[in-house]
């Protein structure tokens, strides 16, 4: 078994339906009927473990909407996964009994999607009144149950300047792992780009400030930037993930010694994938 395979997380998309109406969603046009059956999910879980994976990630849509979510998590634990993560908007986690049931089934890590530490601003962006409060109630319940908490922050016009402050506030609430996501301009994000879109060049200095904050907090290894070309993370290029670089193997900068990010040239597919007309 390869050591790096043992550390990699096997990601399973469980569904496409959702109980939020996020103004930045890139899956809005996806067929909500294309939800995997339990048998297919089970086959994938067994195959992943057999292939050497020991970390399991469950996402959607909103995976906690599945009536068999506890059964899926329990299967992952039974097969042998000792790291089982759910990525969620957290709305269903207002129910403390449900939180306890998830932990009993085998959940070890919960990744939320708080866009900000401002309740009203968050609720407006996900178009669900009370969403922030419900998710935060869930985060508090899971933290008391000794579950590790993370958060995905989708960057937009309303939060990018406050990114370091938002991360600092969430750290204070027990959330210690972060992925900052620069949006892909498709679906609802494309429709609302004029109001909530922001260019990478505007975000860059706030990304670096966030990295400085995490380092000072002793959490330097708990921050990554998804869909951000390394050239916007000067001195922190190793934190960039999620983009393909033509002619090079691994995606992480630290795995590509000697890599030179030639902004605007064909080497990096990132600026083409995102919204090149806004990248200056």
Least confident range from 27-41, 55-69, 251-265: namely 251-265
| 46 pLDDT more than 50 | yes
Write down the pLDDT at residue 268. 56
How far lies 257's CA from each of 232, 246, 248, 251, 253, in Å? 18, 15, 10, 11, 7
pLDDT digits (tens, 9 = 90+) for 137-195: 999 999 999 999 999 999 999 999 999 999 999 999 999 999 999 999 988 999 999 99
Torsion over CA: 8, 14, 19, 20 (sign): positive
Write down the pLDDT at residue 274. 53
Residues 105/70, Cβ–Cβ less than 8 Å = yes
CA 201 – CA 51 distance, rounded (Å): 40
Give the class (CATH, top level) of 1-135.
alpha beta
| 2 pLDDT more than 50 | no
Question: How buried is residue 173: exposed, middle or buried, by Cβ count under 10 Å (0-12/13-18/19+)?
Answer: middle
Question: How much of the chain exceeds pLDDT 90, in percent?
Answer: 78
| 258 pLDDT more than 70 | no
pLDDT, mean of residues 65-80: 98
pLDDT digits (tens, 9 = 90+) for 137-149: 999 999 999 999 9
Q: Which pairing describes strands 240-241 and 55-59: parallel, antiparallel, or unpaired?
A: unpaired
Q: Where in the chain is the domain with CATH 3.20.20.70?
A: 1-135
């Amino acid at each position: 078994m390869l050591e790096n395979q043992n550390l990699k997380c096997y990601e399973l998309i469980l569904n496409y339906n959702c109980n939020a109406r996020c103004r930045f969603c890139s899956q809005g046009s996806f067929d909500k009927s294309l939800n995997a059956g339990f048998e297919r999910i089970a086959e994938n879980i067994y195959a992943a473990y057999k292939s050497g994976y020991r970390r399991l990630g469950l996402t959607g849509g909103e995976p906690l909407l599945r009536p068999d979510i506890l059964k899926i998590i329990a299967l992952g634990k039974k097969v042998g996964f000792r790291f089982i993560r759910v990525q969620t908007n957290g709305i269903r986690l207002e129910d403390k009994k449900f939180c306890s049931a998830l932990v009993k089934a085998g959940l070890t890590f919960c990744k939320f999607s708080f866009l900000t530490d401002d309740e009203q601003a968050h609720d407006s962006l996900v178009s669900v009144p009370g969403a922030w409060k419900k998710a935060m109630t869930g985060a508090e319940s899971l933290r008391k149950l000794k579950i590790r908490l993370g958060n995905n922050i989708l960057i937009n016009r309303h939060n990018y300047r406050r990114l370091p402050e938002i991360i600092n506030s969430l750290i204070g609430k027990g959330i210690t792992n972060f992925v900052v996501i620069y949006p892909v301009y498709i679906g609802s994000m494309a429709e609302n780009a004029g109001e909530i879109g922001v260019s990478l060049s505007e975000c860059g200095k706030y990304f670096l400030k966030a990295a400085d904050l995490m380092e000072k907090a002793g959490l330097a290894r708990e921050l990554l930037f998804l869909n951000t070309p390394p050239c916007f993370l000067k001195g922190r290029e190793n934190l960039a993930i999620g983009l393909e670089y033509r002619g090079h193997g691994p995606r992480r900068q630290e795995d590509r010694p000697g890599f030179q990010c030639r902004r605007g040239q064909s080497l990096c597919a990132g600026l083409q994938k995102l919204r090149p007309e806004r990248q200056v």
